[in-house]
Structure 1
Amino acid sequence: MANDAVAGNALRVAPAQPEATDDPVRGVLAAFTKDLVKGVDDTLAAFLATEVDSLTEIDAAMGGFAATARDAVLAGGKRVRPTFAYWGWRGVTGVEAAVQDVLPALSALELLHTFALVHDDVMDASDTRRGLPTAHRAAAARHRAAGHAGDPDRYGEAVAVLIGDLCMVWADRLLAHAALPADRLLDVRRCYDQMRVETVAGQFLDVLGEHDAANWSVDRALRVARYKTASYTVQRPLLFGACLAGADADGPLIAAYTRYGLAVGEAFQLRDDLLGVYGDPDTTGKPAGDDLRTGKPTALLMLARQLADPAQRRALDRAGTVTGDREVARLADLVRDTGAAARVERMISERVTEALSALDTAPIDETARTALTGLATAATARRS
């Protein structure tokens, strides 16, 4: 098999059997893209080191702020978006093409992801992310420890907004490092910008839903999933990768990627809905039942309301008002009793089937087809 050099390391297209692991996503990523995650992490670390040094020259406090932003980027994660973009690219180029030229563009997606996560945590008032304090909570804690004047929580939120903004600018800057012809980079930028617009649209609908739950529905919840998650997690990264490779924008491969990406992306969000209620906090890095505490109108909760009998619906009306763990656990059991959780599982399965059907006749490299087949299942059967 062909090898690609990435920062002095071989980027290998690995065997088709996943390695043993408790996390199916990590297992498939390890199996199909042996060193891509390391290549992305190395690219990010080198880029961010220069950026942090530059900001430190402005003021020592800026250096600390920039380091906090850097740590948010490098704190972990599966690198799902660069991975889908990579296989979108590989599907066009095959396994022989060297990845160095596009690695900055793939890595930029992780900066965009950090921007979205940090802002999302502020909007959701989340306390933890990946088992650690969220950016706004950590900044508020530093404010208190330093004895600064003013409201620590307000300060923390302001700092987190700026961290997200900085990550967005960094993503633009790193994307410009891709060694591509100017006309192709312009096409890539159009795809990238569309992904960002759709992410903002989905995020707004997500916020609106929490404040207008009486007018929400399963269809609108799925629309949120389509734009908040499917677009920038799977569909647009795939198309972004194809654009990096110079694929024909009107060709059958783009149509197949669009169909696959929408199906897997929606299934990814539906799995998130289930994990938000039934996930293990030690695995997800977030408290169980947060969606029930806030009353977030996810597809799961909307289906539960739709399927509930009158007594169950009255109990579900308490979502968003309960705080105790026992109350949340009872609501979670009630949601399951309505049949909503089982229905969501079927919806996930149906979307994975749709995605695999899209791949069957797609004109893509066979190794990429195998990898995307594995990722469709792993990304939607995960536990975190």
Structure 2
Amino acid sequence: MAESAAGEATPVAQTSSAWLDVVGRRCLAEAWEFAAARAAEHFAGRAEGLLAETALPDFVAGGKCLRPLFAYVGWCCGKAESDAALRAAASLELLHCFALAQDDVMDQSPVRRGRPALQARFARWHADQGWRGSARRVGDSAAILAGDLFLVWAEQMLRGSGLDPTALARGWPHYDRMRSELAVGQLADLVGDARALPSWETALDVLRRKSGNYTVRRPLEFGAALAGCDAAGLDRLGEFGGLVGEAFQLRDDLLGVFGDAAATGKPDGQDLREHKASSVVVLAARMAGPRQRAALAEVAAVEDVDDGVVDRWRGLIVATGARERMEELIRERTEKAIAAADAAVIPRHALGLLAELATRSTERTR
């Protein structure tokens, strides 16, 4: 970035979208290189590391780096670009890999990002060796341990990012809160079941804790805190992040029901097959008339959800108007978020980056 006459850092000859693309690629490269180096350090030449040495960096390679982008834009709300700050932001991609690895075990998802999930890859490897014991148990256990490594590596990468101790000290409380909320939200999501629907207010609370805060708000606050933004600025960014985070998870829940498997990299209608009490399912029940509500309860009670049940369930959700209402809720939250950012005292270029990130987060197809 260059400095404007007013001392404000501004992108040079780049749109917000192009700048974010470049930064995203740099963050992914930093995270992959760190994971590859650690995997080689721990597993090279070891029998148990024949797969792990490649599987763990491969898992990182497919990331979109959304959380690092929010963190780095948060930094840019207070300071000019910094290689050390970018590495600190990139460490959040390893934290996300920890979450994904263990989430796939909890959901028994066979696919992640269009490729076999870690536990499926480790299970197949075990079976291919002809070893005794349960391949599934080994796969699940190995994926959990891989997640543990990603969690350790994320903090290790942050500590070694090159930021000075004072900056890191400002970020640790936000980092710890983000990690805690991630685990608490995952537990809340784990016990949610479409056969015993919670209230809409409870569904929104789980939505915020499960992913909304962890994906947008906390990374944004974390980056801004590292840069030394004041309390008022953090509050405004937190308001923006909370709204965009909710919109992000509402979109994620829509994709979990209506997303195309080729685009999402996940099984078609995965949330319905897993009986998840997602916001889409809860809202449909809330908006349904008596007959629709009874029909929704009937499909939710089916234990083995096949393609036919998925199609019927989707049709009922559309008929209640819930899908259309979800789109309205996403749009409303995004508009409010951009208004909150406009009211914050942050550099002009950062507003453009926040607006572009809000769009990317809420209009995505995967």
TM-score grouping bracket, smaller chain normalisation = over 0.9
> Aligned-pair distance for 1:99?
1.6
Stretch moving more, 277-286 or 48-57: 48-57
Q: How many residues align?
A: 358
Matched, 1:278 2:258: yes
Q: Which amino acid aligns with 2:186?
A: Q
> Aligned-pair distance for 1:142?
1.2
Match 2:290 to one of 304, 307, 310: 310
Stretch moving more, 315-324 or 78-87: 315-324
Per the alignment, residue 22 of structure 1 pairs with: none
- Output the CA distance in 2 between the equivalents of 1:325 and 1:293: 9
Per the alignment, residue 81 of structure 1 pairs with: 67
Residue aligned with 1:295, SS: coil
Assess, with a 3 A threshold, how the Cα gap between structure 1 residues 13 and 145 changes in structure 2: closer, same or farther: farther
Q: Residue 225 of structure 2 contacts residue 234 of structure 2 at CA under 8 Å; is this kept in 1? A: no
1:215-294 paired onto structure 2 within 5 Å:
216-248=198-230, 250=231, 252-294=232-274
Q: Residue 123 of structure 2 contacts residue 138 of structure 2 at CA under 8 Å; is this kept in 1? A: yes
- Output the CA distance in 2 between the equivalents of 1:194 and 1:120: 19
Q: Which amino acid aligns with 1:286?
A: K
- Output the CA distance in 2 between the equivalents of 1:34 and 1:382: 15
Matched, 1:373 2:355: yes
Identical aligned pairs, as a percentage? 41
> Aligned-pair distance for 1:14?
5.3
Residue aligned with 1:101, SS: helix
- Where do 5+ consecutive residues of structure 1 fail to align? 4-10, 18-27
Match 1:143 to one of 126, 129, 144: 126
Stretch moving more, 48-57 or 374-383: 48-57
Q: Residue 257 of structure 2 contacts residue 270 of structure 2 at CA under 8 Å; is this kept in 1? A: yes
Matched, 1:346 2:328: yes
Q: Residue 300 of structure 1 contacts residue 344 of structure 1 at CA under 8 Å; is this kept in 2? A: yes
Matched, 1:107 2:90: yes
Matched, 1:330 2:312: yes
Assess, with a 3 A threshold, how the Cα gap between structure 1 residues 217 and 336 changes in structure 2: closer, same or farther: same
Per the alignment, residue 125 of structure 1 pairs with: 108
Residue aligned with 1:121, SS: helix
Q: Deviations over 1:283-329 (max 9, x none)?
A: 11112211111210011101111122232222212226242212211
- Output the CA distance in 2 between the equivalents of 1:167 and 1:302: 33
- Output the CA distance in 1 between the equivalents of 2:284 and 2:183: 27
Residue aligned with 1:383, SS: coil
TM-score, normalising length: structure 1 = 0.88
1:40-55 paired onto structure 2 within 5 Å:
40-55=27-42
- Output the CA distance in 1 between the equivalents of 2:163 and 2:15: 30
